[in-house]
């Protein structure tokens, strides 16, 4: 029996716009001729069933992180839409979601409330989050003083302990010391055993994708090149990358 969809992405287009360096010296009336455009997503469509673990692969610049941020509601689309079908969602990505001037503990509450949890619900999970993150006294220091590893630990702890219906994970499983990598990997396996939780993982680690995911979407230059089972898609991707490594 086919499950209900947790995520529907339809004809998603996202374009970045920026000024060329030479435009700084240009007169204002000529600035519009100096705008550079980069189409990160060029009409991406796919669906993810409730409880499915989807891996997204592709070379650098293929649009993977842009897609995750669009699904999370951080980026708005130029065309097309994302439908979460009423599910709660969290994005786990380095550099996203923290106020760097606030302490780690304050960011636990800020992040939790942004995810839709009440202050009381967050308070009940606070100690578990702090213990899992295991960053010592830094929990009471501003996030701007954190290393990328500490940032990753706290971000993962918040997302893993304050469980949402949909989890989006962007390369975070590969960050941190060996002990934390093992702990976060085991926690991820525990979380995705819940057949109601939907997970999307972006990773360059094909081993992680093979072990954790039951479906893979291959993005290439902002388009869906292929989608299917890991054992079908990953060998094709590896062959393609080997043939096009230059």
Q: pLDDT tens-digit profile of 160-200?
A: 898 889 989 887 665 567 788 788 878 878 877 778 889 99
Q: Is the pLDDT of residue 22 over 80?
A: no
Range of the domain at 173: 5-243
Q: Which residue has the higher pLDDT, 162 or 54?
A: 54
End-to-end CA distance of the chain: 45
Distances (CA, A) of 106 to 89, 119, 138, 188: 20, 11, 12, 24
We report the CATH number of the domain holding residue 59 as 3.40.50.300
CB 198 within 8 A of CB 48: yes
pTM of this structure? 0.82
Count of domains in the chain? 1
pLDDT number for residue 33: 57
Q: Is the pLDDT of residue 241 over 90?
A: yes
pLDDT number for residue 185: 79
DSSP codes, 120-172: HHHHHHHHHHHHHH--GGGGGSBGGG--HHHHHHHHHHHHHHS--SEEEEESG
């Amino acid at each position: 029996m086919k499950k209900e969809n947790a995520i529907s992405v339809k004809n998603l287009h996202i374009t970045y716009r920026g000024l060329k360096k030479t435009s700084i010296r240009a007169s204002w009336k000529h600035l519009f001729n100096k705008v550079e455009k980069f189409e990160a997503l060029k009409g991406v469509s796919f669906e993810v069933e409730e409880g499915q673990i989807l891996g997204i692969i592709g070379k650098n610049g293929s649009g993977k992180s842009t897609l995750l941020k669009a699904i999370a509601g951080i980026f708005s689309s130029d065309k097309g839409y994302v439908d979460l079908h009423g599910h709660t969602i969290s994005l786990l990505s380095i550099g996203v979601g923290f106020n760097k001037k606030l302490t780690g503990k304050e960011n636990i509450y800020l992040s939790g409330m942004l995810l839709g949890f009440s202050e009381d619900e967050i308070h009940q999970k606070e100690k578990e989050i702090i213990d899992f993150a295991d960053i010592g006294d830094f929990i009471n220091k501003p996030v701007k003083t954190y290393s990328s590893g500490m940032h990753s630990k706290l971000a993962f702890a918040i997302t893993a302990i304050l469980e949402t219906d949909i989890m989006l994970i962007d390369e975070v499983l590969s960050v941190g010391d060996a002990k934390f990598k093992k702990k976060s990997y085991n926690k991820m396996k525990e979380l995705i055993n819940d057949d109601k939780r939907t997970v999307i993982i972006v990773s360059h680690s094909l081993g992680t994708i093979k072990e954790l995911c039951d479906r893979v979407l291959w993005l290439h230059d902002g388009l869906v090149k292929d989608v299917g089972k890991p054992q079908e898609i990953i060998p094709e991707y590896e062959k393609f990358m080997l043939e096009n490594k230059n």
